[in-house]
Chains A and B, each alone.
Chain A
Amino acid sequence: MARVVVDVMPKPEILDPQGKAVQGALPRLGFEGVTEVRQGKRFEIELDGEATDERLAEVNKMAETLLSNPVIEDYNVTVIS
């Protein structure tokens, strides 16, 4: 069994209103010195069997097809166990 994480983040040039809202709320709670917050998504995917190159290629395809929208988001695939 392998566990793979796909992190999806809005591209740097894309406005992230949700991140901005969080950033705006932090000083109100007394958290100072935060210059930027970007909000993304994390998917934890469990695979049966090993995380072979073939399986990881499949996960990359999942990330590109469904989990992220390449027009506005970047993704990153990491094997955690």
Chain B
Amino acid sequence: MRIGVVTFPGSLDDADARRAVRMAGGEAVALWHGDHDLKGVDGVLLPGGFSYGDYLRCGAIARFAPVMTEVVDAARGGMPVLGICNGFQILCESHLLPGALIRNDHRKFGCLDQVVRIENNKTAWTTAYDEGDEITIVLKNGEGSYVADEATLDLLEGEGRVVARYLGNPNGSQRAIAGISNEAGNVVGLMPHPEHAVEDLCGPGTDGLGFFTSVLTTLANSR
């Protein structure tokens, strides 16, 4: 299975994301923001970082990068797409996911090992987990506070589209939301970083690996 990882100017975690894909047993394919080309991948990952310097709003300019035309089309067609951190912000700006991410309520950049609870293990990216699993991955952001209007939040809760929730609330996210999915469950946005928790040598453990094995299983089952 080939998972494409997009590099935007200012992406930081693209190499870690590709490494996580490889560790899960997939083939990682580097994609470039300026190309209208997904190189025939089976899934796409938008990594963390500060695309286009976070100018204007996080993800606002990356949303209009040439490669995003293809990513948005593929996502609407059912291809698994995961946005982590800045990638989540890009998915919200692209309207593939509802809501937005604003500055942390405590106004500091947070960098910590964070426990999140998996609330929906039926998305393309979470099947390796059990519902209710509490996993420790890395949270590092300045603008990770998830906001949406009450109606949208109720809709997300009602349809089981809250994928992961923080234990404690590290950034003022509404309803402690750490990650959400689209209606079909193929597009997931996640503020914390599973790709930094895939091996014991560094990071808080291997709890993050499940996101990457999940998508490979999902893709294998859909063939």
Contacts and interface: CB of A to CB of B under 8 A. Distances in A.
Given A69-B57, A71-B148, A72-B147, A20 B99 contact: no
Contacts of B148: 71
Interface in A18-34: 18, 20-21
Contacts of B92: 71
Q: Which 4 A-B pairs have the closest CB atoms?
A: A17-B103, A71-B100, A17-B107, A72-B100
Interface residues of chain B: helix, strand, loop or mixed (majority):
loop
A10 B145 CA distance: 14
Contacts of A71: 92, 98-100, 147-148
Nearest to B142: A17
From A14, A66, A71, A72, residue with most partner B Cβ within 10 Å: A71
Interface residues of B, number: 19
Interface centre among A18, A21, A66, A67 (most CB of B within 10 A): A66
Contacts of B172: 15
B102 A72 contact: yes
Given A17-B104, A20-B107, A69 B60 contact: yes
Interface of A: 10, 14-15, 17-18, 20-21, 66-67, 69, 71-72
Nearest to A18: B103
B222 to A, nearest CB: 32
A18 B103 CA distance: 8
B107 A15 contact: no
